[in-house]
Structures are given as structure tokens and as C-alpha cells.
Amino acid sequence: MRNPVEEFERQYREHGDPWDYESSAYERAKYDRTLDALGDRTYPFALELGASIGVLTERLAPRCGRLITLEPARTAVEQARGRLELVPNVDVRLGSAPEDLPDWSFDLVVCSELLYYFSSDELDGVLDALELRMPRAATLLAVHWRGRGTHQLTGDEVHAVLCRRPALVRVHGDVQPEYVLDRFERR
């Protein structure tokens, strides 16, 4: 990853909420559309990668029987744990994909603003590991900013890779000027 965990850690220590997840109207609207993309379905066992300080996690939790989050920045994990301490179905974990992925089966995998930090080869490895943990008809929900930043890939490039994966079928797409949002089902 070009933007190392140490850089994320520094940003969370210095700013607490460096991307304004708690207060941004843009983030709120994006989260609304992200949850809308799931429809009315609930998921017995879900995984959220790159959960940050847990703002989306908090909104996602009521739709999940059990929700495990994986976040590599320790300060963000501590904030998310504080935010979600009274939400009994959420387990906030420190770790990175693919090496720290739980070896379980997930009905829902959420990747928000994360996959573009991997190189193309790393992304393939992460997606291979996720697909192994997704049974047939499981959902992968991906949303990524479309701008150019310190990411190794753009959001559009990540979603193009997702659309080419033989094991994933795109069942919902939403392209906004700022971000791309896709829901896939596992074949």
C-alpha cells in the first residue's frame, strides 16, 4: 500500500476524524445511498473492511446479526470501539486484509473507501481471499471515491476489476460524480 498504516495512524491521532465522517453532509448522503443499495435485506454474518472510526458501522449494525470490522489503524479502532461499545452485535478488530481476515463465511462484505489503496496484484489477492469467505449468493458492497489521491488505483479502476471477477455478478450500480457504488452477488 502506498499510504501506509503509519500515515493513517498519524492522521487519526492528529485529527480524530480526518475525513469528517461524523459531520460531512457528503458522507451522510453517501452512507444513505450505500445502505439503500442493500435494499431491505438483513445479513446474519457480515464483514466490514476499513471501518475507520465506525460511523458507517453504526448504521450498518442493525441490518446484521453479527458484524465484524477490520481496521489497520489502532487509534481508529479505539474510537470505533468507544462509539460501538453498546452495540452488542459488532466486533471491532485491529487488522488488515488479507492476512487478518477471519476464516469464516460472510453473507455480506462491505468495502468502503479501501480497495484502491492496494496495487492491482494486492487487490486480486484480497478479492481472492474474500471470495473464499463468501458462500453462493453472498453480497459484496463496494463504494469508492472517484478522484485521484494517494491511492494506487482509482475508484473506477477498482470497480472495473470487480466487474471482471468471474465469481461476482453486479446486481446494482450507482455512479455519482464523486463516487462509484456497486453491489455484487457471489456466483
What are 124-163's pLDDT values in tens digits? 999 999 999 999 999 999 999 999 888 899 999 999 999 9
pLDDT for position 1: 41
Task: Give the pLDDT confidence of 48-70 residue by residue, as tens digits.
Answer: 999 999 999 999 999 999 999 99
Q: How is residue 57 written as a grid cell?
A: 458501522
Q: How is residue 181 written as a grid cell?
A: 457504488
pLDDT for position 148: 84
Task: Give the pLDDT confidence of 80-130 residue by residue, as tens digits.
Answer: 999 999 999 999 999 999 999 999 999 999 999 999 999 999 999 999 999
pLDDT for position 4: 65
Strand, coil or helix: 48: strand
H or E element, residue 164: helix 155-164
Sorted by where each begins, the domain ranges of the chain are 5-186
pLDDT for position 115: 96
User: 5-186: which CATH number, 1.10.8.420, 3.40.50.150, 3.40.50.720, 3.10.20.600?
Assistant: 3.40.50.150
Q: Is residue 6 very low, low, confident or very high in pLDDT (cuts 50, 70, 90)?
A: confident
Q: Is the dihedral of CA 138, 27, 19, 59 positive or negative?
A: negative
Lowest mean pLDDT among 6-15, 32-41, 168-177: 6-15
